[in-house]
Copies of this chain bind each other. A is one copy, B any other.
């Protein structure tokens, strides 16, 4: 039976997480209202069909984590104003632009339980609306955070594309190292999240040390986020994630649990895994067997430990802001990192 102190700690953690999530929800509504104001400004000057696509693709109940990171980072560096929200919106635009294009590339039928933009409006509209948001995002970042911010933003965008090309080239390479994996998830998730933190810090007038700390926080947060995302693909509850388990295996995608297992497995198991991975039918038929082998070597547990380690690192990065130890911003940033570990979808 658990000790009383343990139970108490759990309750406290749960209450704390609930209040973090309440902040996230309130801020997400605020970000949505700034985004709606920005689109309303466009209402007079752009085509009605384009606006319809933007409205459909942008307002889908997203948590607006990236804009929130911009706002929190700028506040932590000492600047509290509404333009931080307007700057943050650029990250939601770029994020949406990449999703519009990625859904074409991956032929994804749905996104958050609705038809994806390209399924609903066609490939042409999805490509063009993505390009529109891309340009709009750049203009916004340039406007509010100047050349310094724009360079970070463009490096993140080009780095994301570069990462996708690496994935394209590595699609059938089942010998990826743990480092290759970290490179890939930086491109997929880490770059944009760390750019949000860094540009928020630049906008907030942070000194070099603060800017670096927030960028590094973002790198660690993005890393933890993607590891958990990849774990959910194996272990998630389809009722909560809305996705079937085993997608990555079926596609032959090498994520952390599998990479760690291949490094640890004995000769027989490694040969067996490689044989399964080499053939699509085998991969679909033998998903359970792959999971059993990964479990045998503790691949899931080890992957989760890497995510926990990244979250610990993320929090540590914020130590440079010691004078603001108990500020709301810092608490929310640390809470967001912990939330990543507890998410089930």
A162 to B47, CA, bound (A): 6
Of residues 127 through 154 on chain A, the ones whose CB sits less than 8 Å from some CB of chain B are 127-132, 134-136, 138-139, 142-143, 146-147, 150-151, 154
Name the CB-closest residue of B to A152: B139
* Closest Cβ–Cβ distance, residue A116 to chain B (whole Å): 14
* Closest Cβ–Cβ distance, residue A99 to chain B (whole Å): 12
A46 touches B162 (CB 8 A): yes
Of residues 65 through 103 on chain A, the ones whose CB sits less than 8 Å from some CB of chain B are 97-98, 101
Name the CB-closest residue of B to A53: B165
A150's contact among B45, B150, B164, by CB below 8 Å, is which? B150
Name the CB-closest residue of B to A140: B154
A104 to B118, CA, bound (A): 13
* This chain: copies in complex: 2
* Closest Cβ–Cβ distance, residue A83 to chain B (whole Å): 14
B147 touches A49 (CB 8 A): no
Of residues 262 through 276 on chain A, the ones whose CB sits less than 8 Å from some CB of chain B are none
A132's contact among B135, B139, B161, by CB below 8 Å, is which? B161
Given A135-B134, A143-B147, CB of A49 within 8 Å of CB of B154: no
20 A-B interface contacts by CB (under 8 A): A48-B169, A101-B127, A101-B128, A105-B124, A125-B165, A127-B127, A128-B164, A134-B134, A135-B154, A135-B157, A136-B154, A136-B158, A138-B154, A139-B150, A139-B151, A139-B154, A139-B155, A142-B142, A146-B147, A150-B150
Q: Which of A's residues lie within 8 Å of B, judged by CB?
A: 45-50, 97-98, 101, 104-105, 123-125, 127-132, 134-136, 138-139, 142-143, 146-147, 150-151, 154-155, 157-158, 161-162, 164-166, 168-169
